[in-house]
Structure formats: structure tokens, C-alpha cells
Structure 1
Amino acid sequence: MARCWSYLRGLSICVTVLLLVSGVVMIGVGFSSIEGNVPVAQLFAQLSISDGLLALQVFGPITVVLSVLGISAAVSNYKPLLLLFSALIFVEFVALMIVASPLVHVEAEVNIAVEDVFLNVTPLHTAEHFIQTELKKLQNSDSCCGLRSFEDWGNHLPDSCSCTPPAGLSSQTSNSSSLGSCVMTGKSRHPSDKLWVHAEACGPILKSYLGFPIKLRIGIISALATIAITAIVLCLVLGLEDRLKKPPVEITIDDFNRVKYQPKPSLS
């Protein structure tokens, strides 16, 4: 039985160390500028994609401090400190769930807002110059064209939309309007030429870029919640070790052959 409690103590130390690492990750992600790396960031300036950032910035340092307290309590096996740590982590867990719960609906709201932005900036050849410039960079890097389709550019398809079909296949499929990742627009600069553009739209790619920070924060908070619950249970069990242990029993038989069970006297 003593070995079992020793294993629990070692496990609680490992879990509180994981909690400390989670707090450090929360601080790192909370104070990093993930949104600054989103392509065409100026296009989405009116969107709030910093949801959950404050939760990471606030609860990250709190988690680190409480984790240090938990590690000290688990290493020293000091019962009152273990119970205090369990109570504080539980309070943080409840507060974090309340603050972070709106994140579940943020991604859907961002997708709706992005669709509104797409409507406002199309047709793209009439959009502001910086939007066209940034979108052309994205089209070059991710092999896509337009926000919802190449038709967003109207008759003003930029060179960044151009797509080269695999060698030898374009001539064999001259009657086809699509070929792998390329699609024929039916519009060309010269009547004798076919104009091939990227079949994939840039809109879904932009949505994935915008959704990644939100998904990352939800993942970190979910992992922290799981570790916190585990730490609470382990430290609470260790803190109540004396109450959970069955007291040693001494069996005696009196003169009338009656069996008596009574706690063994303490050596102290």
C-alpha cells in the first residue's frame, strides 16, 4: 500500500510539471503575434480574431505560479499545501472555462464575417491596390485564384492566376475545361491561346489561416483543462491520504472467546 501512495506522489509531480509547461506555452502563444502572419491581414482588419488571447495572457502566468506551488507541495508531501493547491487550481479551472467558452462559437462567426468581406471587395479588379497586391502574393505562394473562384477577377485575370497544365496532358485533353489543379477560363489574351488558371480559390485558404489561431487556443485550453483536472484529483487524494488510509486494527480475544477489533495504539 505504501508503494501505491509513492506512485501517486510521483505521478502528481509529473502532472504538475506538465501543468507548468502548459502555463509557459500559454504565455508564449498569448504574447506572440500569430495574426500578424495571416496573409492579406489588412483585408481583415475589421475582424476580431484575437479572441482567447487575453485568456492565455492572464491565465498563463497564473498557471505557472500555481504549478510551482503544486510541485513544491507534491515534492514535500505537505498535506495542507496539497489541499490548497487543489482548491486554487479548481478555481482557476472554473474561471478559465467561463472566459474561454465563447471561443467555441468564434470560428463560425469569423467565417460569416469573412464571407461578408469577400462580397465587399469583389470584383477584385476594382478593389483597393493593397488588397490586389497582397492577394496576388497569396495566389503565387498557394497556387490559387480569386476569393471564391477565378471569376472574382472578371476579365482582368492577373498573371499570378496563371497555371501550367502538366506537360503533354493539355494537348491530349483539348476538349476538357479542367485539368488537375488547372481550369480553362474560356477567356484568353489571344484567340488562338487557351488561358489556364488555378482551379482552387483562395477563400478557403484564407479561412484556414484565420481559423488556425482560434483552433490553437482552443487546443491549448482543452489540454490545460485536462491536465488541471488530473492534477486536482491526484493532489486531493494525496492531501487526504491520512483520512483515506484504513487505520491498523488489532484483533484480541477476551476470556469469553469474543473477538474484539480496535485500532492499534500509536507509537508516538
Structure 2
Amino acid sequence: MARYRSYLRGLSICVTVLLMASGLVMIGVGFSSIDGNTPVAKLFEQLSSSDGLLVLQVFGPITVILSVLGVCAASLDLKQLLLLFSALILVEFVALMVVASPLVQVQAQMDGAVDEVFLNVTPLYRTDRYIQGELNKLQASDSCCGLRSFEDWEDRLPVSCFCTPPASDQQVSSQSGNSSSDGSCVMVDSERRPPTSLWVHSEPCGPILKSYLSFPIKLRIGIISAVATITMAAIVLCLTLGLEEYWKKPQVETTVDDFNRVKYQPKPSLT
């Protein structure tokens, strides 16, 4: 029993330390500027860029403070403090779930909001110079063209959209809709660019931008989910230690009286 209790106590300390580390991660992510690194960030000014940040900024320090309390309680084996820590961390867990639940809805609505932004900025050659410059960088680095397709540029395709197909594909006759053998390039309608046809990247940049934009929210949801799991483990372990006197079976000793009757009674406590 002593070995089991020692193991449970050590596990409680490890889990509360892990919870403290999770709180520090929440603080770090909460005060970092991940959203500012989103390509063509100016496109998404109308979308909320602070979803989940306030949750991490508020609950991160609270988690660290409560974790310090939990580590002290488990290390010193103070049952009243363990019960207090369990109650406080349970309240934080419920509040975290209530406040963070809208993040899932934001993630679900993100694609529709981004598609609406894409629609509002096309044709791309008419949009802001800064957005054009950032989009050109993305097209050159990720081999894509336009937001939904190369047609977003209409007949003013930038150089960053041009693609070099395999040598064997360059011998194909100029026909509208031809694509390279590997599918990475597509031939622009020759009527748009007479007398020669141009090859452009077949993949749109929209899905790439969506992944960049949704990453911060997915990261925050992942961190909150991990913290919630560790919190539940800490609550169970600390409650088990705090309520030990209620679930631990007392040691029993047997005695035989003068009439050869066996009596069972708890051993006297050393304390």
C-alpha cells in the first residue's frame, strides 16, 4: 500500500508539473503574433485575428499559478490543499470549456468567410498594390496562380503565374485547356494571348491561404484540448490523494481471547 501511494503521489507531481508547462505554452502562444505571418494578411483584416488569443492570455497565467499550488500540495502531501487545488482547477476547467467552445464554430465558419473575401477582391489586377505584391510572392514560392484559379487575374497574368512544363509537353499543339502530364501546369486560352500560348500554374493559391489562416485557430484548439486532458488527469489524481482517508482500508489485526474466539480490530495508528 505504501509503494502504491508513493507511486500515486509521484504521478500527481508529474502531472501538475506537466500542467504548469502547458500553462507556459498557453502564455507563449497567447502573446505571440502568429496571425501577422499569414501571407497577404491585408486580405483578412475583416476576419477576427484574435480568436482564442484572449483565452490563452487569461487562462495561461491562471493555469501556472494553480499548478504551483498543486505541486506544493502533492509534494508536501497536504490533503486540505490537495482538495482546494482540485476544486479550483475544476472551476478553471469548466470556465475554459465554456469560453473556448466558440473556437470550434469559428473554425467551421472560416472557409465560407475566406471564400467571400476572395470573391470581393477579384479581379486581382484591380486590387491593392500591396496585396498584388504579396500574392506574387506566394505564387512564385508555392507554384500557384490566382485565389480560385488563374482566371482571377483575367487577361493580366503576372510573371509569377508562369509555369515551365516538361519538355515533352511543350511540343503539344496549342489547344485550349491542355494541361501538362504531371498536372502542375495548364495552357492558357490562346485567344487571350495571341499569337503564342502560355503555361501557368494549375493550382490555385486559395487553399494554401486557407491553411495558413486556419493554422493559428487549429493550434489554439489543440493546445486547449491538451490542457483540458491534463487538467482532468490532475483533478483525478489529486482528489484520490486528498480523499485517501475515505478510500484506504484500515489495517486489521486479529486477537484470540481466553475462550478461543478470534477478534478483528483496526491497528492503532502510529500518529
TM-score of the superposed pair, with normalisation by structure 1: 0.94
Offset, 1:267? 3.8
> Residues 186 and 262 of structure 1: is their aligned pair in 2 closer, same or farther, counting only changes over 3 Å?
same
Amino acid at match of 2:201: H
Instruction: Report the secondary structure of 1:252's partner residue.
Output: strand
Deviations along 1:59-91, one digit per CA (max 9) or x if unpaired, are 000011111111111111111111111111111
Deviations along 1:24-63, one digit per CA (max 9) or x if unpaired, are 0000000001110000101111111321110000000001
- Matched with 2:147 is 147
Instruction: Report the secondary structure of 2:264's partner residue.
Output: strand
Structure 2 residue aligned with 1:243, among 236, 243, 246? 246
- Matched with 1:74 is 74
Whole-angstrom distance in 1 between the partners of 2:101 and 2:170 = 55
1:212 maps onto 2:215 in alignment: yes
Instruction: Report the secondary structure of 1:223's partner residue.
Output: helix
The CA RMSD measured in Å over matched residues stands at: 1.6
Contact 1:83 1:236 (C-alpha < 8 Å) held by counterparts:
yes
- Matched with 1:54 is 54
Whole-angstrom distance in 2 between the partners of 1:171 and 1:257 = 106
Offset, 1:152? 0.7
- Give the gaps of 5 or more residues in structure 1: none
Matches within 5 A, 1:25-104: 25-104=25-104
Structure 2 residue aligned with 1:229, among 229, 232, 237? 232
- Matched with 2:189 is 186
Contact 1:107 1:214 (C-alpha < 8 Å) held by counterparts:
yes
Whole-angstrom distance in 2 between the partners of 1:266 and 1:139 = 76
- Matched with 2:114 is 114
- Matched with 1:171 is 170
Offset, 1:169? 2.5
Task: Judge which range, 238-247 or 17-26, deviates more.
Answer: 238-247
> Residues 63 and 267 of structure 1: is their aligned pair in 2 closer, same or farther, counting only changes over 3 Å?
closer
Contact 1:49 1:110 (C-alpha < 8 Å) held by counterparts:
no
Offset, 1:99? 0.2
Whole-angstrom distance in 2 between the partners of 1:88 and 1:210 = 35
Offset, 1:257? 4.1
Task: Judge which range, 225-234 or 238-247, deviates more.
Answer: 238-247
Amino acid at match of 2:178: S
> Residues 267 and 218 of structure 1: is their aligned pair in 2 closer, same or farther, counting only changes over 3 Å?
closer
Contact 1:144 1:198 (C-alpha < 8 Å) held by counterparts:
yes
- Matched with 1:3 is 3
Task: Judge which range, 79-88 or 208-217, deviates more.
Answer: 79-88
Identical aligned pairs, as a percentage? 72
- Matched with 2:137 is 137
- Give the gaps of 5 or more residues in structure 2: none
> Residues 219 and 42 of structure 1: is their aligned pair in 2 closer, same or farther, counting only changes over 3 Å?
same
Amino acid at match of 1:159: V
Whole-angstrom distance in 1 between the partners of 2:269 and 2:34 = 61
Contact 1:42 1:131 (C-alpha < 8 Å) held by counterparts:
yes
Whole-angstrom distance in 2 between the partners of 1:27 and 1:102 = 20
Task: Judge which range, 254-263 or 33-42, deviates more.
Answer: 254-263
Offset, 1:204? 0.5
Offset, 1:170? 1.8
Task: Judge which range, 90-99 or 249-258, deviates more.
Answer: 249-258
Offset, 1:260? 2.5
Offset, 1:133? 1.8
